[in-house]
Structure 1
């Protein structure tokens, strides 16, 4: 955690706040002084997060991020409670491996809706509030959106859409002084799960593609998100920031040993 207070009095909406990464993002912003609006489907998990952060500075809003009306309501509830919105973190998403031959149209539509369309809808819903605050958007992409992977063609496409949507939206909203960036994590797990099967095997394989040893944690992603949303990144927009131990820096060629 950090002793900084870069977000004192600011309001941050985090979608998908009931997951590992979403929860870590909410905690990071709260530690830096922000009011948190946690939006997701699982109300029980959201309520637990609000209890942890303190109900005076956190609000849970049950939200289906694939429905514009839900997102409109969440943004309005955030503005009514805390007086406005300064940051939107579009973190909600879903992922599963599937061989292309087994990939159905329903799988494709689900991954596009939960990952890509939700990011678009969230930005539209937050825009009137962000125009007033001259705030920022941080989208959660993935290294999958920067290249291809076996068994993840639909997820690659969905996160690739998030990547280029972020770049295009940065130009569309730059005139309003709204910054739009994205973080692209690799496989990210909590430390307590790193030694449990099959996670340990996945991490060992991922490490062979990285420049740094070890693995990324939700707190690593949260730190990158907080930086991009802060005044420290005031001249950053359209940036896709990998949090991947250097994996995306590789040439892709087999190493010479």
Structure 2
């Protein structure tokens, strides 16, 4: 990647969690392309190192943390301050899932999903907010269409992403008067490492694509573009928004087409 510090986010500092792959990696690269300095936060050191290959070293720093732990989540924020001297954007993107109903899932499954998807976003936001208030910055959360409507066979993920949706709204209300905007994107199924198994299931994939009006699967770059927009000055009067980035799948009410 050619280093170019001009762009929409020149002189801005961004923390992206879950940055080693998928939506997080695409988002970190998108911010870099717009001139930002980026803290790439993830717990997978080897994958993160590969993801950062070619990124401008003067505007990129790795932070190996477990976002589900409050002290470690705070370290991502501290890294931004120590390396770049400020914080302008926090992208809470780290996430995990487990399939099944609550009858299938264990208590340990529940604790893991909550720890990553809810605790991680909450802890990072708490650590970041004093600095975002100072800079007039913003938070963008990666929620999901699974947080705005129910899915079959993924109860724990639905519950956790519903919490992220309402966390977004609550933080937007609480900290709008402080000058901090808080928004979320809600992807539908996106082709990332977490969904590779789904992509290999042709029967499922065909059903999924047929339900999406745009007739294709979301890509990490689709989500990154929406995140960067919500963090930009172009979205300066948008806060508390829960933005579907789903190819139109949530435009329907679930009923099949009426017979012609």
TM-score range, shorter chain: over 0.9
Could you say which residue in structure 2 is the equivalent of 1:140?
A: 142
Q: Matched residues in 2 for 1:169 and 1:204: separation? A: 38
Q: Structure 1 residues 22-31 or 41-50, which shifts more?
A: 41-50
1:36 is matched with 38
Where in structure 2 are the equivalents of 1:83-98 lying within 5 Å? 83-98=85-100
The equivalent of 1:71 in structure 2 is 73
What corresponds to 1:248 in structure 2? 250
Q: CA deviation at 1:83?
A: 1.1
2:61 to 22, 34, 59: 59
**Equivalent in the alignment of 2:122:** 120
Q: CA deviation at 1:46?
A: 2.0
> Which of residues 88, 107, 110 is equivalent to 2:109?
107
Q: Is the 8 A contact 1:100 1:151 kept in 2?
A: no
1-structure distance, mates of 2:91, 2:204: 27
What does residue range 205-216 of structure 1 map to in structure 2 within 5 Å?
205-216=207-218
Alignment of 1:156 onto 2:158: yes
Q: C-alpha distance in 1, partners of 2:7/2:56?
A: 17
Residue 169 (structure 1) aligns with: 171
How far residue 209 of structure 1 moved from its aligned partner, in angstroms, is 2.0
Please give the secondary structure, in 2, of the residue aligned with 1:208.
helix
Structure 1 position 243, deviation (Å)? 0.8
Correspondence for 1:233? 235
RMSD: 1.9
Q: Deviations over 1:12-57 (max 9, x none)?
A: 1000001211100001000111101001101122223333212111
The one-character-per-residue Cα deviations of 1:152-209 (angstroms, maximum 9, x if unpaired) are 111000000000110111001101100000000011116xx99x95254433211222
Residues in 2 aligned to 1:43 and 1:154: alpha-carbon distance in whole angstroms: 27
Runs of 4 or more above 6 Å deviation? none
Aligned residues: 253
TM-score computed with the length of structure 1 as normaliser: 0.93
Runs of 5+ in structure 2 lacking a partner?
Answer: none
Alignment equivalent of 2:220, drawn from 218, 221, 234: 218
Asked if 1 retains the 8 angstrom alpha-carbon contact of 2:21 and 2:51, the reply is no
* C-alpha deviation, 1:144, in angstroms: 0.6
Aligned to 1:9: 11
Kindly state the Cα deviation for residue 117 of structure 1 after the two structures are TM-superposed. 1.3
Q: Deviations over 1:138-159 (max 9, x none)?
A: 0000111111111111100000
Whether the 8 Å CA contact 1:188–1:217 is kept in 2: the answer is yes
1:71-117 superposed Cα distances (whole Å, 9 cap, x missing partner): 22221111111110100000001012123321111111111111011
SS of the equivalent of 1:17 reads coil
